[in-house]
Structure 1
Amino acid sequence: MPTTAAAIDPAVESKPTQRRLADAERTDLSELVDTDRYPLHDVDDPRLQAEIARVREDLDREGCAVLRGFLRSEALEQARQEGRELSAKSYYASRRVNAWFTSDDESLPEHDPRRHFMERTSGFVTRDMIPADAVIQQLYVSPAMKRLVAECLQEDEVYEYADPFAGLVQNVLPPGTEQPWHYDTNEYIVTMMTDIPDSGGEFQYCPNIRTPAGENYDGVGAVIRGEDTTTPRTLLLRPGDLQLFKGRYSLHRVTRVSGERERHTAIFAYSQQPGVVGRLERTRQLYGRVSEAHIEAEKRREERADGLLD
């Protein structure tokens, strides 16, 4: 039987598959997000409003909330494969740190938690290495995603980081690594696991163990030294779940990863003001390099208003 000309047209045969690029004007995320459950295109939809109300309650009570099954299964599989490819670009660093990422102060008593140093080994793939068509890039820049985060956090608006490295990163924890007890420097963080290890890699946290009024060194020290095992809570996270977490006041860690598979987590960093750039020294510690933007921002840096150590 003769074949039609269209069937053998090489131009048709070689036409590349169209890929979505990260687009700061794109509001339709239905290809990636389960919009039947989370209709991001309509913030007034009763289904979305119910989820936002629940998230707000969880954040107020626990400092942590999860939107289960946020990604569609096809998008999750794409994100998982992209994460495995990105893993080869990870910068790994191993060093002993305390929960505040500060240097040792020998003037403090040996029992002080600021003198308790833990081994931290983890990897990061920075935003400048994540392709524009990656699922996590598409999510990060979307105004629908920003609007959801703002609504959940009861903010008028949230902004992408101006930081060329830290706005969006993939955290990579190979077997045998962990993230010890620590705080985040920003008020809140949004994360999504894309690949789960065979065992371990559990997220544990202590809700509001410190406040702007004080560090609560006694309580924090008891957790860090393993004397208090009742305060830490373990949160079951599954790939494709979206997590919102107030990590500046809640001590947290990821337990040691075991087995053969790595633990991959996308970290979406948003801020309440535009133009945020990470601290120079912490950027160097986490990512192994700094940019001119970090150097210039450090010259203009002001002290944090809450007066906490980090």
Structure 2
Amino acid sequence: MPVSPALADAECSDLGDIVDAERFPLHEPDGPRMRELIESCRARLAETGSAVLHGFLRPAALAQARDEGVALAHKTYFSSRRVNAYFTADDPSLPEGDPRRVFMDRTSGFVTRDVIPADAIIHRIYVAHAMKRFVAACLDEARIWEYADPYAGLVQNVMPPGTQQPWHYDTNEFIVSMMTQQPEAGGDFEYCPGIRSPEGENYGEVGRIVRGETRAPINVITLQPGDLQLFKGRFSLHRVTQVEGSIERHTAIFAYSKKPGVIGRLERTRQLYGRVSEMHLEAEQRLVRADNLVD
């Protein structure tokens, strides 16, 4: 039985019809079960940079989210290009083998927020105060904000068989995602926790990873439909391995920020979504880097 239609209401504080409230009592932010859950997430994020909440959605909501994702998939912008882990152009002045000169095939696609209906399960989750309050608590932040970016705040990542996301970093310090459809094989999430920091890029170790010379620092997660993942992707190199079989991999990505007004970088937006807006052009002119890391 489908979940009753509802708009993505920013004033909504209860996701009880969508989220398994027994295991994840978002409606009781100060209750003992919620405090225990938050402490567990904080500990996992501190230790490994990732916290996975299995079975976050109620079965009916998960089924609806999957169906909505399948219906949205035809709106996906696909691109196939060779990129490095930093989404920067080649620099011949750098030595061969430098990770900034190691280019990999990226063959994934995205459905952007502006075409995701307001009553979609993933949109309702993204804007809900209960969700933002929970994510902020797990990150030990007083508050977080939705992206101001008209495209990137909420996206559905669509990966048909044969596609992959190569090694990369996220623009934001953290990301929240939820799988809605699992492929038959492949599509594993691999990451190297904290391989770089604001103090340095650690090009030597990153180079060994992207050149395929070692797997020692790599963690592997096989996500299941309905799993919610909190991940510190700004400092952890990560990728999604090639999808195999006949079923697409669908994942909703909820982009929040520690400050309001965040807009994605111009060139990266163009690469990922195939278009930019006036907001992106204006934001690029005002850009002031928060750190000295290469994107």
Which band: TM-score by shorter chain? over 0.9
Give, in whole Å, the separation in 2 of the partners of 1:217 and 1:157. Answer: 33
Give, in whole Å, the separation in 2 of the partners of 1:120 and 1:296. Answer: 27
Give the alignment partner of residue 248 of structure 1, picking from 212, 216, 234: 234
Partner of 2:292: 307
Q: Percent identity?
A: 64
Residue 194 of structure 1 pairs with residue 212 of structure 2: no
Amino acid across the alignment from 2:271: Q
Give, in whole Å, the separation in 1 of the partners of 2:99 and 2:269. Answer: 23
Q: In the TM superposition, what whole-angstrom CA distance separates every residue of 1:38-71 from its partner, at most 9, and x where no partner exists?
A: 1111111111111100100000111111111110
Amino acid across the alignment from 2:294: L
**Deviation at 1:309?**
1.2
Give, in whole Å, the separation in 1 of the partners of 2:70 and 2:228. Answer: 19
Residue 122 of structure 1 pairs with residue 108 of structure 2: yes
Residue 286 of structure 1 pairs with residue 272 of structure 2: yes
Amino acid across the alignment from 2:224: R
Say which SS state the counterpart of residue 105 (structure 2) adopts: strand
**Deviation at 1:157?**
0.4
Say which SS state the counterpart of residue 231 (structure 1) adopts: coil
Amino acid across the alignment from 1:138: R
Give, in whole Å, the separation in 2 of the partners of 1:153 and 1:183. Answer: 18
Query: Does the CA-based 8 Å contact 2:97-2:211 persist in structure 1?
Result: no
Amino acid across the alignment from 1:237: L
Amino acid across the alignment from 1:294: H
Larger Rg: 1
* Structure 2, unaligned runs of 5 or more: none
Amino acid across the alignment from 1:145: M
Amino acid across the alignment from 1:68: H
Partner of 1:211: 197
Give, in whole Å, the separation in 2 of the partners of 1:295 and 1:112. Answer: 31
Say which SS state the counterpart of residue 108 (structure 2) adopts: strand
Aligned pairs, number = 293
**Deviation at 1:18?**
5.6
Matches for 1:143-158 after TM superposition, within 5 Å: 143-158=129-144
Q: In the TM superposition, what whole-angstrom CA distance separates every residue of 1:179-231 from its partner, at most 9, and x where no partner exists?
A: 00000111000000000001000000000011111111110011111111121
Say which SS state the counterpart of residue 193 (structure 1) adopts: strand
Partner of 1:73: 59
Matches for 1:1-310 after TM superposition, within 5 Å: 19-304=5-290, 306-310=291-295
Amino acid across the alignment from 1:288: G
**Deviation at 1:111?**
1.6
Give, in whole Å, the separation in 1 of the partners of 2:212 and 2:147. Answer: 35
Amino acid across the alignment from 2:110: F
**Deviation at 1:296?**
1.0
State the TM-score, normalized to the length of structure 1: 0.93
Q: In the TM superposition, what whole-angstrom CA distance separates every residue of 1:60-85 from its partner, at most 9, and x where no partner exists?
A: 11111111111001000000000000
Q: In the TM superposition, what whole-angstrom CA distance separates every residue of 1:23-43 from its partner, at most 9, and x where no partner exists?
A: 001112111000111111111
Say which SS state the counterpart of residue 96 (structure 1) adopts: strand
Say which SS state the counterpart of residue 222 (structure 1) adopts: helix
Amino acid across the alignment from 1:117: F
Say which SS state the counterpart of residue 122 (structure 2) adopts: helix
State the TM-score, normalized to the length of structure 2: 0.98
* Structure 1, unaligned runs of 5 or more: 1-16
Say which SS state the counterpart of residue 65 (structure 1) adopts: strand
Say which SS state the counterpart of residue 219 (structure 1) adopts: helix
Q: In the TM superposition, what whole-angstrom CA distance separates every residue of 1:225-256 from its partner, at most 9, and x where no partner exists?
A: 11111211101211111100000110000000
Root-mean-square deviation (CA, aligned residues, Å) is: 1.0
Give, in whole Å, the separation in 1 of the partners of 2:203 and 2:140. Answer: 30
